[in-house]
Structure 1
Amino acid sequence: MADNRRRRMISLIVSFLFSVSLSCLCLAPIPASAHLKFGVNGKFKILQVADMHFATGATTRCEDVLPSQTAHCSDLNTTAFMSRVIAAEKPDLIVFTGDNIFGADAIDAKKSLNAAFAPAIASKIPWVAVLGNHDQESTLTRQGLMNHIVKLPNTLSQVNPPEAAHYIDGFGNYNLQVHGAADSSLQNKSVLNLYLLDSGDYSKVDSLNSKYDWIKTSQQFWFDRTSKRLQKEYNAKPNPQVGSAPGLAFFHIPLPEFWSFDSTNTTKGVRQEPISSATTNSGFFTTLVTRGDVKSVFVGHDHVNDFCGELKGLNLCYGGGFGYHAYGKAGWERRARVVVVDLNKKSNGSWGDVKSIRTWKRLDDEHLSVIDTQLLWNSSAKGLVVPRL
């Protein structure tokens, strides 16, 4: 009986979302210049969705689920899970960290993307996406995918930053600024910076013997310049601040430094498969640590890893596999990562700069269980490190 009720609920949710998404697709997207802001509660919440692997919808079967789930499980379970977790968490931003569609099984990339993002579009919550290694295996190139994504409603995604479009590698490199709370002294200043990058798909350099791609020198150059510019703006009048606003980075393929963690030294979560990073190290971890503003990196790619680990002051976190057409582990629930950034409260009761960064995961079980709540960064505990400009 419970399974029947769940199937009926999924069917109703998907039917509603399909009709809503069709009507939404004619709406204009959010302007790229629009600023994200902290809420009046002093919080900014991000929902990370990793590896949906969406294909054709109801006809696409699930991978690695329990025998009792097999007969009625499809892409629509992914859609229903997203709708449930959005309703439960009410995030301020949804971040899709690649392999949004599984290109090999997606007959029409545009239709698959539209269906994959439909719950986010229907929610009218701002959302962004980067690409994984499977998105381009259907009917669109990586550039074509991003060109389509940026035209969808409610997205703040960008193909590439205008100032770097002539030199930067990949498609889907951009920065988002999150301003302080309304009516605070920092309402017109970015107090949290989000960096989204294209980690590529597969290596094009045979001599390096690496299956997967990596974040290139041109992207690191753009990140370094952007980080330094944002620090200058943070330090500038009016209301000059000390140091750098904290940052978060989102991309698909993990850095080689994720190999530093196993069951003995992860802070929360599990490692259940090898780290599928590039075998060559492009140095992006060192670039991030040297700048010092990014406090956490969030990736996907390895679906049954969902751990966070801290190395040299930088948190390296997996989202955990979200999609039902992606490989997984039967009985190990699909999951999403939630990241909450909290502001300091001043003595006069107004909101100030960032105080802390917390995270937890939501499971696609009957209760949308919350697990692995943890503090990733705290301004008072870590002290203030001023990056060199």
Structure 2
Amino acid sequence: MKNKHILYSLIVAIISLQLSAFNLFAQNNLLSFNNNNQFKIVQFTDCHFYNGGEKSPEVLENIKAIMEAEKPDLVILTGDIVTGSGDNWPTLASWELLTEVLIQYKTPYAVTFGNHDDEAQISRKELLKYLSKRPYCVISDEGGDEVKGIGNYVLPIYNQNEIVEKLIYCLDSRSYSLAQNKGVDGYAWFDQSQIRWFARTNQSWLTKNQNAQSLLFFHIPLPEYKQAFDNGGFRNGVRMEDECSPKINTGMFSEMVLQGNVLGSFVGHDHNNNYVAQLFQIALCYGYFSGGNSYCDLPLNGARIILLEENKRTFTTWLRRIDGKILYEVELPYSEKK
């Protein structure tokens, strides 16, 4: 009996230590460059995972393959991760299964919502509350009720001298047009409150280090993605479907340009696109379809990788497929002078 009591106490102690570690990480959210002066991000997008889906195992296998090959410092899920509809849809059970795969790698992960994530009788606020309690998840809602959308936040990346060098913005590009009664159908756009929050927050961080650079992650591509691809400038990767951007342009890209420190943005939404194009020295990047239970004409699923380096105003990015093949590696923003 005494041995059983000791074993039970030991198990409780181990669990308590693990939870303490999770809570400490959640409180600090300190992300920093490694000893090689690098910081690697993996972007998974449009997983469309749900528990019991015929092709859902492909989603989890893809995550495992990418995580084991790349060993990232941060994972960012850019929307339409768990999708479905109806009162009895296993939304939280599906999120639990998917995040358990990430948790086993003990890697922090961020989440931005897509237009399908809250279609199964669960709100964005409820999802944020649930995810914020999951181990290693760094989602938050810094804007609060004054800023539209759920889950607008920034993750600072510190260099070896504990100075912020990169700023990772995770933004809610929201769902569908709120002006359909005025003939504006399609998808939502960034609200002015979100653009103001981004500008204000970015300027605040730049007072700490005027040389810091920013990268933005969200789900729905800006209208400027099409402009960048069509203008005949630098691009790589493929466009196999039209960009499904909002029909109203509220100026998020203009603010990105005016801020002067934005290196690029990363989206999903259009499953057949994985290109990078460039406009005004800002890289406009698609992720790589990471799902199984949805449309896609690409041969295999995968992810986009983003490699940041200390003291460099560029980043390197590539696509990795589940079979290990690497595609379209490039240093961005692209310059012909290199």
| TM-score, scaled to structure 2 | 0.89
Q: 2:322 aligns with which of 364, 369, 373?
A: 364
Larger deviation, residues 39-48 vs 137-146: 137-146
SS of match in other structure, 1:123 = coil
Counterparts of residues 100-249 of structure 1 (less than 5 Å)? 100-104=81-85, 107-158=89-140, 160-161=141-142, 164-181=143-160, 187-206=161-180, 207=182, 209-234=184-209, 243-249=210-216
Deviation string 1:172-201 (CA, Å, 9 cap, x unpaired) is 1000100002xxxxx221100011100001
Which residue identity lines up with residue 163 of structure 2 in the other structure? K
Q: Distance in 2 between matches of 1:221 and 1:264?
A: 31
Aligned to 1:340: 307
CA contact (8 A) 1:304 1:328 kept: yes
Match of 1:40? Answer: 35
Could you list the per-position Cα deviations for residues 35-58 of structure 1 after superposition, in whole angstroms to 9, with x for gaps in the alignment?
Answer: 1000000100000001000111xx
Task: Please provide the CA RMSD for this pair.
Answer: 2.1
CA distance in 2, matches of 1:97, 1:208: 28
Name the counterpart of 1:75: 56
Q: 1:326-379, CA deviations, whole angstroms, 9 ceiling, x for partnerless residues?
A: 2101x6221200000112xxxxxxxxx3353110000122xx111100001389
In structure 2, what is the Cα distance between the partners aligned to 1:292 and 1:250? 17
Instruction: Decide whether the 8 Å contact of 2:213 with 2:313 is kept in 1.
Output: no
CA contact (8 A) 1:48 1:95 kept: yes
Aligned to 1:31, which of 15, 26, 32?
A: 26
SS in 2 for 1:111: helix
Q: In 1, are the aligned partners of 2:234 and 2:334 still within 8 Å (CA)?
A: no
Q: Which amino acid aligns with 1:151?
A: K
Q: Against the structure 1 CA distance between its residues 314 and 176, is the aligned structure 2 distance closer, same or farther, given a 3 Å change threshold?
A: same
Per the TM alignment, residue 263 of structure 1 is displaced from its structure 2 partner at its CA by 10
Partner of residue 259, structure 2: 291
| Cα distance in 2 for residues equivalent to 1:293 and 1:339 | 17
User: Does the 8 Å CA contact 1:267/1:310 hold for their aligned counterparts?
Assistant: yes
If the length of structure 1 is used for normalisation, what is the TM-score? 0.77
Q: Could you list the runs of 5+ residues in structure 1 that have no partner in the other structure?
A: 1-22, 62-73, 182-186, 235-242, 344-352, 383-389
* Distance in 2 of aligned mates of 1:301 and 1:151: 26
Inter-partner Cα distance in structure 2 for 1:323 and 1:255: 22
Structure 2 residues without counterparts, runs of 5 or longer: 1-14
Alignment check: 8 A CA contact 1:246 1:354 kept: no
Question: 2:73 maps to what in 1?
Answer: 92
Equivalence for 2:330 = 374
**Residue type matched to 1:205 in 2?**
A
Count of residues in Structure 1 that have an aligned counterpart in Structure 2: 316
Corresponding residue SS for 1:244:
coil
Deviations 1:145-182 (A, max 9, x none): 11111110011111x11xx313100101000100002x
| Distance in 1 (alpha carbons) for counterparts of 2:255 and 2:96 | 35
Q: Which amino acid counterpart does residue 304 of structure 2 have in structure 1?
A: R
Offset from partner CA, 1:43-93 (integer Å, 9 cap, x none): 00000001000111xx312xxxxxxxxxxxx20111011011101000000
Contact map agreement 2:221 2:268 (CA 8 A) in 1: yes
Q: Give the Cα–Cα distance (whole angstroms) in 1 for the partners of residues 296 and 230 of structure 2.
A: 19
Q: Structure 2: how far apart are the matches of 1:288 and 1:33?
A: 27
Which amino acid in structure 2 is aligned with residue 362 of structure 1? R
The 1-side partners of 2:133 and 2:234 are apart by: 39
Q: Secondary structure at the match of 1:354?
A: coil
Task: Report the CA distance between 1:262 and its aligned residue.
Answer: 4.5
1:357/1:378 contact within 8 Å kept: no
What amino acid does structure 2 have at the position aligned with 1:128? A
Q: Contact 1:49–1:322 (CA<8 Å) still a contact in 2?
A: yes
Quick one: distance in 1 between partners of 2:242 and 2:235?
A: 18
Q: Specify the SS of the correspondent of 2:104.
A: helix
Between the aligned partners of 1:290 and 1:322, the Cα distance in structure 2 is 32
Deviations for 1:105-149, whole angstroms, at most 9, x for unmatched residues? 781221111112222111110111010000001131011111111
Cα separation, 2, equivalents of 1:254 and 1:306: 12
